[in-house]
């Protein structure tokens, strides 16, 4: 955890010359740790100041001495989750492979605490902190691809947006069905079904071949599209350079 300071293992080390009177003293880190454990185990709705205090064996009001309120508590939680992780930064392979690897790492980071994903994605500041963890190798890869600064920024945002949307789908629908599969189509009456002939045909075809939804495959398929698309933009940029060379010569 260790949100603010680093190099302090836990609450077990007593302060020099001043042994805690009742054993462990309350601290921001101890609070965040207990809160995260509670959220992971029972969901974000189970997190209340009073319940958290009970878990810590402390008066509810004591918590307010270390965090200013519940909103700040959740913000601290989200920040801690994104700050604690130092994901490995890919630095070898083609730029395509580095983009893919960064997206995989980022997905794992966002998914690390499923019950916190919603609060996490709703917190713009936290998302910035999370993105900066993995953004440098993405930008380096996009730079290697030959994109302009503006297009590189847009491409990096698009990859991040895809990961956010994908993880949201994963945690909202952990069973892993197709968003719109045979069940939903069959629920619609004949009138409805007649209005979506292509979907009906495609999903019937998927059902025939016994295709099961697979989040890993779906994520990789999304990366296929994104990387292919970025390749296209890079080709445009090269063509643009060539045009300008032609004009100059």
Q: What angle do CA 105, 109, 113 make, to 5 degrees?
A: 150
d(CA 245, CA 247): 5
Angle between helices 49-56 and 70-84 (to 10 degrees): 60
Contact assessment for residue 78 and residue 119, using Cβ atoms and an 8 Å cutoff: yes
Q: Which of residues 144-183 bind DNA (CB under 7 A)?
A: none
Which of its own copies, DNA, none interacts with 243 (beta carbon under 5 to 8 A by kind)?
none
Nearer of residues 59 and 188 to DNA, judged by Cβ: 59
Nearer of residues 136 and 243 to its own copies, judged by Cβ: 136
**Helix/strand/coil for 7:** coil
User: Distances in Å between the alpha carbon of 178 and those of 126, 181, 182?
Assistant: 30, 5, 8
Among 2, 3, 44, 51, binds DNA (CB under 7 A): 51
Confirm or reject binding of residue 74 to DNA (CB under 7 A). no
Confirm or reject binding of residue 41 to DNA (CB under 7 A). no
- Tell me which residues touch its own copies (CB under 8 A): 118, 121-124, 127-129, 131-132, 135-136, 139-140, 143, 149-155, 157-158, 160-166, 168-169, 172-173, 178-180, 184, 188, 195-199, 201-203, 205-206, 209, 211, 217-218, 221-222, 224-233
């Amino acid at each position: 955890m260790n949100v603010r300071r680093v190099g302090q293992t836990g609450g077990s080390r007593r302060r020099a010359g001043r042994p805690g009177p009742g054993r462990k003293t309350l601290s921001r880190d101890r609070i965040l740790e207990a809160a995260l454990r509670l959220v992971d185990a029972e969901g974000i709705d189970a997190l209340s100041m009073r319940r958290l205090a009970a878990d810590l064996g402390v008066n509810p009001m004591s918590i307010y001495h270390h965090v200013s309120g519940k909103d700040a508590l959740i913000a601290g939680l989200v920040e801690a989750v994104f700050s604690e992780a130092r994901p490995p930064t890919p630095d070898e392979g083609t730029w395509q492979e580095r983009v893919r690897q960064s997206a995989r790492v980022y997905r794992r980071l966002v998914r690390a605490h499923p019950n916190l994903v919603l609060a996490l994605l709703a917190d713009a500041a936290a998302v910035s902190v999370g993105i900066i963890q993995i953004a440098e190798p993405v930008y380096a890869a996009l730079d290697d691809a030959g994109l302009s600064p503006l297009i590189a920024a847009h491409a990096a945002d698009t990859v991040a947006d895809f990961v956010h949307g994908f993880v949201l789908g994963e945690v909202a629908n952990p069973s892993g069905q197709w968003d719109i599969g045979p069940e939903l189509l069959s629920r619609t009456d004949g009138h409805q079904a007649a209005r979506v002939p292509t979907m009906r045909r495609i999903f019937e075809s998927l059902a025939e071949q016994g295709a099961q939804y697979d989040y890993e495959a779906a994520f990789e398929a999304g990366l296929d599209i994104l990387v292919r698309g970025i390749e296209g933009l890079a080709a445009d940029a090269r063509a643009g350079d060539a045009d300008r060379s032609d004009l100059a010569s």
